[in-house]
Amino acid sequence: MSTATDNRRKAPAGERVADWADGRLGIYSLAKANMRKIFPDHWSFMLGEVCLYSFLIIILTGVYLTLFFHPSMNEVVYHGSYVPMQGMRMSEAYKSTLDISFDIRGGLLLRQIHHWAALVFLAAMMLHMMRVFFTGAFRKPREINWLFGFLLLVLGTFTGFTGYGLPDDLLSGTGIRIAQGLILSIPLVGTYISMFLFGGEFPGTDFVARFYSIHILLLPGIMLGLVVAHLILVVYHKHTQFPGPGRTEKNVVGMPLMPVYMAKAGGFFFLVFGVIAAIAAIATINPVWAMGPYRPDQVSTNAQPDWYLGMSEGIFRAMPGWEINIAGHTLVLGVFIPLLIFGLVLTAMAVYPFLESWVTGDKREHHLLDRPRNAPTRTAFGVAWLVMYGVGLVNGGNDLWATHFHLSVNSVTWFVRITFFTAPIVAFIVTRRICLGLQRRDRDKVLHGRESGIIKRLPHGEFVEVHEPLSQDQLFTLTSHEQPKPLELEPEVDENGVTRKAGASQRLRAKLSKGFYGEGTHIPKPTAEEYHEITSGHGHH
Amino acid sequence: MKKLSARRRHPLAAVVVLLFALAVTGGLYAAFAPADKAKADDTAQSLAIEEGKKLYSVGCASCHGTGGQGSSDGPSLVGVGSAAVDFQVATGRMPLQQQGAQAPRKKAIYSQAEIDQLAAYIASLGAGPVAPTKSQYSPDGADIAKGGELFRTNCAQCHNFVGKGGALSNGKFAPSLENVNPKHIYEAMQTGPQNMPSFPDTTMSEKNKKDIVAYLGAVNSSKSENPGGLELGGFGPVSEGLFAWVFGLGALVAVAIWVAARTAKAKKS
Amino acid sequence: MSSQEIPEENLPSTQGEAHAGAVATADPFADPGLPPHEHRIQDIDERAAKRSERVVAMLFVLSMLATVGFIASYVTLPVDKNIYVFPIGHISALNFALGLTLGVALFCIGAGAVHWARTLMSDVEVADDRHPIEASPEVKAKVMADFREGAKESALGRRKLIRNTMFGALALFPLSGVVLLRDLGPLPGTKLRKTAWSQGKMLINQNTLQPLRPEDIQVGSLTFAMPEGMKEEDEDFQNEIAKAALMIVRLRPENIKDKRELDWSADGIVAFSKICTHVGCPISLYEQQTHHVLCPCHQSTFDLSDGGRVIFGPAGHALPQLRIKVNDKGFLEAMGDFAEPVGPAYWERG
């Protein structure tokens, strides 16, 4: 006992602090499990970190902004330093935003960092989600984390929108007005929700204060919880990795957290912050002073939401004006249908992992990623989804496309009305074919080697390109993927002669499974026999 | 399909695909590019001032008729006033180069003296808005803030918050007001060129117009200040979103690639 | 969880051969295992390592300098000073200086740390084992048994009265929370049906704040009006103007295609609601030659010469028209409120 005490006395200060903490928090056990945790190196694995860090940047700058922003719609007359607003009536919210921009040193910078980081946050979530989708990283055991990520995207969108509405300028007020119009279109309860949300008629005097507490407290609070859960699951599941020599479903190959990833990931936070700060120094975002205070009878063209709602804006613009009156009630389909479509497009993304595992019957854990070409159907679905989203997004700015490319805004809208449905189908077919083409190329590469670019003249005068055989590493990497078989329906008559009909859902499942994995969905991998036959014989041709 | 498959590795395949894509793009553009003819201005009557009339009969009469009465190719000019002539000719919109959804701004081909003669001739055909004098449109003594409010009530719906322009139906557009001569802005409000409605002095006073001109001078000229940095066109969230994706996320992905890339290995001897 | 300290030892013995020539192996596609670690220049050349060290230190020093620059700019630059920076334009000197120095300060810390990690920390790839997430059957059996035991001890299944009343209590109490939300706002009532317009209210020009006379309004002009008696300073101005905003144009009576529109006009002067019937943007992109008016938000297009009918876009019904006349003093006045609710459609609109 006494020796132990002696040892402790001699231990360096850092260790003594760690001992103290361990006695209360058990940090040594935690560190044993995690200090040398392995992270694989790949740039696309850093996209989630971009999201995390921009989220942190938003929180840091947002806290600063709350120190100066007045979430109030009381009207005041402006006498600040921005001349073109002198003597204008405006809400305190708008006035304090002008003050942050013009009278508080660094206020404009922090406002711009906050807003740019928000756009980057949502863009990075989208890109991160694409990476996870196209590599199949959402498969078991990570479906729940996919849902957490999806919820973060949705909540991020709402948080962004409520923030966009806070300055109470003409652009944001127009956006809120549109949102109120959408709410009114909800059958049965639309007017009630609108009255309750706005404390009466639009615009009223409440919504800035209400949106403020939603924007800075409610939604970020939930998001913070989800982010923590998302990260805990990432650590718990350990990271996925791309296939390659020595990488299996049972291990994860990369660099340890301490010290490499502490430096890389920690450093990356500063890199992200630095890049966004530089952007905020160079480019304006949301110049509220140019837009004027909100008045419900004023408007400007280019009234668009931030990009993450551009797709919904686009489908609202493309929708024909359908409206049905039945028995004294109005169904505002022209507004309500796009609202539903937007919800459905998002939900499709959320449920895809469950759909895929049901269709393919694959209930195993997956830690090795798919190359997108090796899962042609999934890749094609993803591209089709993106094309649909992109077409909607394009129409969100249809007026700008029209003026910049000298087109008619009506034609752009009609173009989008048609391509919103047709382009995803085309994209699906084309993508799948491209994937098969790439598979075919992989197969050729394995069997015939890499085209070296060296031209050789044979004795009889023929010119040939020398094909270099691939290394064992490359051969393994190109052939290690699975090629699943479609699910088969159980025979309708079993061996005892008892007829059992497959249910409708069973038949659908088999059909979809065939679509996923059946004929024409993959190019057979080269087998070792084929390889030997070609390489042992007369060399390359 | 088989045949097509077999030929897709042909050396010219890429060229064919490229040509096809270009043709489709061009075809689509031609199909969607607006070709609606500008509809004729409303208005009707006549008389003459010598020089202007000469210029008129050479440069304008083929569309607007020998006496300014209009034809199928151009509206009547009777009663449009000297302000309309000064606006249309001095901004180069007239004479028209080609029929289209709307006449764009071009380099003016007449001198100011010739324009004044033309204007005098047209004004003699029937009374209309008179071209403003410098004191009417100079920003001295104007209320910029009031001008901003008036601009947002009357103009921003088409021309955008600070006059960057915007789309109208079927290929028509509200042009950007950047660096437009204040006189021409004033005349446009007076006369309502092409599809723009007019804002006559009876409903928008001279003082109102002066305020608006002063506001535009403050927020949309080569001297206007954009404290936050690059204006990104002043088009609002669309250009900001594009910038965030291309430069924001683009830069961050580039950084991520550097962070995750393998460090160069020492060459084995 | 044990990480392999020296991965080379764990590699299959055939590994060397595999790398010598892939063709020779029995199964060309077998996993050759982790490739051997290759050294970086910094691992074998101390001078290169020193160079890296200096680069890292330089980046950290640069960051310090940038922070000093940040504080210096904050202290010295006035908040309202604008400078011309090519090609950005006339921008705030303070914003530009603070942003760039902050950006450099942060970026250099990050770049230094990453460069350090990339060139000086070990880059030996390590493999970590994964463990199945699912519990083993024994663990599962134990948990199930414990759960059954606990459930039995609670007697929840047996004492149904307790169970049911507990569920009842738990289900009911959130209602209090819902009830508390009731005072968020008033019930809709007929609020969305009524505007500030009523019989005899004059049309006030929003630019000049004077009542409008018919002779003020020319063919091809566009004017916005609000009802007599409404003031910007009024407490409910925003709510009222959101419904009452009015757009006035003059057409030649022979150009008006809709009979009711003609009846409700005064000498060809027609007054339409400025609030779009789609989702409520103030619509007013009036094309005076075509008489179309377009909404800047979603491009709903209405024909003002045909009763405000929708001719393009997502709006579901025509723009409401306000019936006006010229009163005996020669001013334009409303002959009542709008006949239908203005603005976006909703369930009770009918």
Instruction: Give pLDDT tens digits for A8-39.
Output: 567 899 999 999 999 999 999 999 988 999 99
Residue window 127-166, chain A: list those with CB within 8 Å of chain B.
Answer: 127
Residue window 198-257, chain C: list those with CB within 8 Å of chain A.
Answer: 206, 224, 226, 232-233, 238-239, 241-243, 245
Q: What share of chain A in percent tops pLDDT 90?
A: 80
Mutate to test the interface with C, among A472, A477, A532, A536 (most CBs of C within 10 A): A472
Instruction: State the pLDDT confidence band at A538, using cuts at 50, 70 and 90.
Output: low
Distance between CA C316 and CA C319 in Å, rounded? 10
A320, two tokens: 């024909």
Distance between CA A508 and CA C96 in Å, rounded? 60
Q: Is B63 annotated as a binding residue?
A: yes
Contacts for C161 with CB less than 8 Å, ≥ 6 apart: none
Mean model confidence pLDDT for chain C: 90
pLDDT in tens, B203-247: 999 999 999 999 999 998 888 889 999 999 889 999 999 999 999
| pLDDT for residue C17 is more than 50 | no
| pLDDT for residue C25 is more than 60 | no
Q: Residue C126: how many CA atoms within 13 Å on its side-chain side?
A: 21
Contact A115, A123 (CB under 8 A): no
CATH number of the domain at B134-219, please?
A: 1.10.760.10
Instruction: State the pLDDT confidence band at C13, using cuts at 50, 70 and 90.
Output: very low
Q: Do C41 and B227 touch (CB under 8 A)?
A: no
Q: Tell whether B152 is within 8 A of chain A (Cβ).
A: yes
Edge-to-edge strand list for the sheet holding A251-256:
A38-39, A251-256, C126-129
| pLDDT for residue C8 is more than 50 | no
Q: Do B251 and A402 touch (CB under 8 A)?
A: no
Closest CA in chain A for residue B30: A407
Q: Among the residues of A214-284, which ranges form H helices? A: 219-237, 262-282
Closest CA in chain B for residue A127: B249
Closest CA in chain C for residue B155: C285
| pLDDT for residue C222 is more than 70 | yes
Q: Is the dihedral of CA A153, A310, B164, C221 positive or negative?
A: negative
* Minimum-distance CB partner of B34 among A46, A285, A407: A407
Chains touching chain C through at least 3 C-beta pairs below 8 angstroms are A, B
Distance between CA B125 and CA C184 in Å, rounded? 64
| pLDDT for residue A516 is more than 70 | yes
**pTM of the complete model beyond 0.80:** yes
Mean model confidence pLDDT for chain B: 85
Mean model confidence pLDDT for chain A: 92
Q: Do C289 and B40 touch (CB under 8 A)?
A: yes
* Minimum-distance CB partner of A45 among B144, B234, B260: B260
What's the mean pLDDT in C73-97? 94
Q: C156: distance to nearest CA of chain A, Å? A: 31
pLDDT in tens, A205-261: 999 999 999 999 999 999 999 999 999 999 999 999 999 999 999 999 999 998 999
Q: What are phi and psi of A244, to 5 degrees?
A: 175, 175
Q: Largest Cα–Cα distance of chain C, in whole Å?
A: 108
pLDDT in tens, A260-308: 999 999 999 999 999 999 999 999 999 999 999 999 999 999 999 999 9
Chain C residues whose CB is inside 8 A of the B36 CB are none
pLDDT in tens, C207-217: 999 999 999 99
Give residue A521's pLDDT.
87
Q: Tell whether B107 is within 8 A of chain A (Cβ).
A: no
Q: Do A274 and C105 touch (CB under 8 A)?
A: yes
C348, two tokens: 């009770």
Looking only at the bridges linking them, the beta strands covering A329-331 and A324-326 are: antiparallel
Distance between CA B207 and CA B140 in Å, rounded? 11
Mutate to test the interface with C, among A297, A299, A309 (most CBs of C within 10 A): A297
Instruction: State the pLDDT confidence band at C112, using cuts at 50, 70 and 90.
Output: very high
Q: Name the DSSP class of C193.
A: G
Please give the CATH architecture assigned to the domain spanning B50-125.
Answer: Orthogonal Bundle (1.10)
Prediction ipTM score: 0.92
| pLDDT for residue C16 is more than 50 | no
Q: Tell whether B126 is within 8 A of chain A (Cβ).
A: no
* Minimum-distance CB partner of B266 among C44, C95, C288: C44
Distance between CA A245 and CA C14 in Å, rounded? 13
Mutate to test the interface with C, among B78, B153, B160, B202 (most CBs of C within 10 A): B202
Q: Is B159 annotated as a binding residue?
A: yes
Beta bridge partner(s), residue C115: none
Q: Do A251 and C129 touch (CB under 8 A)?
A: yes
Show me where the domains of chain A are located: 35-238+250-315+331-370, 447-489+499-536
Looking only at the bridges linking them, the beta strands covering C292-294 and C332-334 are: unpaired
Beta bridge partner(s), residue A325: A330
Distance between CA B215 and CA B185 in Å, rounded? 12
More confident of the two residues B7 and A188: A188
Please give the CATH architecture assigned to the domain spanning A35-238+250-315+331-370.
Answer: Up-down Bundle (1.20)
pLDDT in tens, B26-48: 777 777 665 544 444 443 334 44
pLDDT in tens, C280-290: 999 989 999 99
- Ranges for all domains in chain B classified under CATH 1.10.760.10: 50-125, 134-219
Q: Write down the CATH superfamily of domain C194-349.
A: Rieske [2Fe-2S] iron-sulphur domain (2.102.10.10)
* Minimum-distance CB partner of A282 among C32, C74, C88: C88
pLDDT in tens, A128-149: 999 999 999 999 999 999 999 9
Chain A residues whose CB is inside 8 A of the C296 CB are 299-303, 399
Closest CA in chain A for residue C244: A297
Chain A residues whose CB is inside 8 A of the C347 CB are 186-191, 329-332
| pLDDT for residue C79 is more than 80 | yes
Mutate to test the interface with A, among B150, B212, B226, B255 (most CBs of A within 10 A): B255
More confident of the two residues A1 and C260: C260
Give residue A5's pLDDT.
52
Q: Do you know the residue count of chain C?
A: 350
What's the mean pLDDT in A112-118? 98
Give residue C203's pLDDT.
96
What's the mean pLDDT in A362-388? 95
Q: Do B227 and A102 touch (CB under 8 A)?
A: yes
Q: Tell whether C284 is within 8 A of chain A (Cβ).
A: yes
What's the mean pLDDT in C56-84? 97
Chain A residues whose CB is inside 8 A of the C128 CB are 36-38, 238, 251-254
Chain C residues whose CB is inside 8 A of the B172 CB are 287
Q: C119: distance to nearest CA of chain B, Å? A: 7
Q: Is B64 annotated as a binding residue?
A: yes
Mutate to test the interface with B, among A164, A300, A389, A394 (most CBs of B within 10 A): A300
Chain C residues whose CB is inside 8 A of the A276 CB are 103
Instruction: State the pLDDT confidence band at A197, using cuts at 50, 70 and 90.
Output: very high
Distance between CA C110 and CA C106 in Å, rounded? 6
| pLDDT for residue B267 is more than 90 | no
User: What kind and span of H or E run contains A169?
Assistant: none
Q: Tell whether B244 is within 8 A of chain A (Cβ).
A: yes
Closest CA in chain B for residue A433: B5
Query: DSSP strand E in C2-151: where?
Result: 82-85, 89-92, 126-129
pLDDT in tens, C313-324: 999 999 999 999
Residue window 89-118, chain A: list those with CB within 8 Å of chain B.
Answer: 101-102, 108, 112, 116
Give residue A378's pLDDT.
96
Q: Supply angle C-alpha C326, C327, C331, rounded to 5.
A: 70
Closest CA in chain C for residue B231: C88
| pLDDT for residue C1 is more than 50 | no
Q: Do A245 and C111 touch (CB under 8 A)?
A: no
Give residue B60's pLDDT.
87
pLDDT in tens, A61-87: 999 999 999 999 999 999 999 999 999
Chain C residues whose CB is inside 8 A of the B153 CB are 206-207, 224
Q: B203: distance to nearest CA of chain C, Å? A: 6
Give residue C23's pLDDT.
40
Q: Supply angle C-alpha A308, A309, A310, rounded to 5.
A: 90
Distance between CA C65 and CA C105 in Å, rounded? 8
Closest CA in chain A for residue B143: A84
pLDDT in tens, A166-190: 999 999 999 999 999 999 999 999 9
Q: A147: distance to nearest CA of chain B, Å? A: 23
Give residue C224's pLDDT.
96
| pLDDT for residue A443 is more than 90 | yes
Chains touching chain A through at least 3 C-beta pairs below 8 angstroms are B, C
Give residue C5's pLDDT.
39
Contact C76, C147 (CB under 8 A): no
At C156 the three-state DSSP class reads coil
Give residue A9's pLDDT.
61
Q: Tell whether B144 is within 8 A of chain A (Cβ).
A: yes
Closest CA in chain A for residue C224: A297
What's the mean pLDDT in A491-507? 75
More confident of the two residues A5 and B51: B51
Q: Do B247 and A119 touch (CB under 8 A)?
A: no
Question: Ranked by mean pLDDT, which of A354-363, A455-464, C171-180 comes out on top?
Answer: C171-180
Q: A2: distance to nearest CA of chain C, Å? A: 33
pLDDT in tens, A234-246: 999 999 999 999 9
Convert A420-465 into a string of H (helix), E (strand) and C (coil).
HHHHHHHHHHHHHHHHHHHHHHHHHHHHHCEEEEEEEECCCCCEEE
Give residue A496's pLDDT.
73
Chains touching chain B through at least 3 C-beta pairs below 8 angstroms are A, C
